[in-house]
Chains A and B, each alone.
Chain A
Amino acid sequence: AQKITQTQPGMFVQEKEAVTLDCTYDTSDPSYGLFWYKQPSSGEMIFLIYQGSYDQQNATEGRYSLNFQKARKSANLVISASQLGDSAMYFCAMSLAGGTSYGKLTFGQGTILTVHP
């Protein structure tokens, strides 16, 4: 069974600075996907970025990048040039490619990010 761990319950960052949100995962399956979602106070879940286990390069989407270290089983989210609107809960999630687990997301407990002006 897969597991996602987010060890930072809360993080603070100054506006315009970069911040890294930690995520480690555990699976014995060689083929998997890692996802980050943002949940603002309004409650919706917003997809941010995806990294496949066989991808050679770290994923980037605008100000979001994923620092993927396969040997360490970590998939940290880096947000550059933080904005006030980045204040939200952030979830790391994983999906396995094989068998009956295909497509099902397992979520971590989340990290609350607060951006200070």
Chain B
Amino acid sequence: NAGVTQTPKFQVLKTGQSMTLQCAQDMNHNSMYWYRQDPGMGLRLIYYSASEGTTDKGEVPNGYNVSRLNKREFSLRLESAAPSQTSVYFCASSEGRTLAKNIQYFGAGTRLSVL
């Protein structure tokens, strides 16, 4: 049972470099999400995709872009990385049909450092 798979697990970037975080789920979920977790804080939503073909901004979207490639995959791109984007990034997915069914299942996270 793979669930939600994120790659890479760790990444170090220099300021100004770009990279894409990959996320794939095998649960046939409709909705997918990207969060960031900073030290000592809860998760904050960056972007989400309620269903295939749609994406929308969350609480902290600046500096990021996303692509819902298909129902399974949802990628997060940093075009020009900044030290403030040093964080742990989590991808999640959910059925997204009713609130009771909207339990989000998370990937293992990507630990990103921007120097």
**Contact across chains for A31 and B99 when beta carbons are under 8 A apart:** yes
**Contact across chains for B103 and A91 when beta carbons are under 8 A apart:** no
From A11-19, A45-53, A62-70, A71-79, the one touching the partner chain is A45-53
- Partner of B105 from A47, A95, A107, A108 at Cβ < 8 Å: A47
Scoring A50, A95, A104, A108 by chain B CB atoms within 10 A of each residue's CB, the highest score goes to A104
Tell whether B80 is near chain A: CB-to-CB under 8 Å. Answer: no
Residues of A within 8 A of B74 (CB): none
Residues of B within 8 A of A52 (CB): 99-100
Tell whether A35 is near chain B: CB-to-CB under 8 Å. Answer: yes
Scan residues 81-117 of chain A and give those whose CB is less than 8 A from a CB of chain B.
Answer: 91, 93, 95, 97, 100, 102-110
**Contact across chains for A97 and B106 when beta carbons are under 8 A apart:** no
**Contact across chains for B42 and A32 when beta carbons are under 8 A apart:** no
Min distance, Cβ B107 to any Cβ of chain A, angstroms: 8
Measured CA separation A4–B44 after assembly (Å)? 12
With contacts A45-B92, A45-B106, A52-B99 known, what are 20 further pairs, Cβ within 8 A?
A33-B99, A35-B103, A37-B106, A43-B108, A44-B106, A44-B108, A45-B43, A45-B90, A50-B100, A91-B43, A93-B42, A103-B31, A103-B94, A104-B45, A105-B43, A105-B45, A108-B42, A109-B41, A109-B42, A110-B40
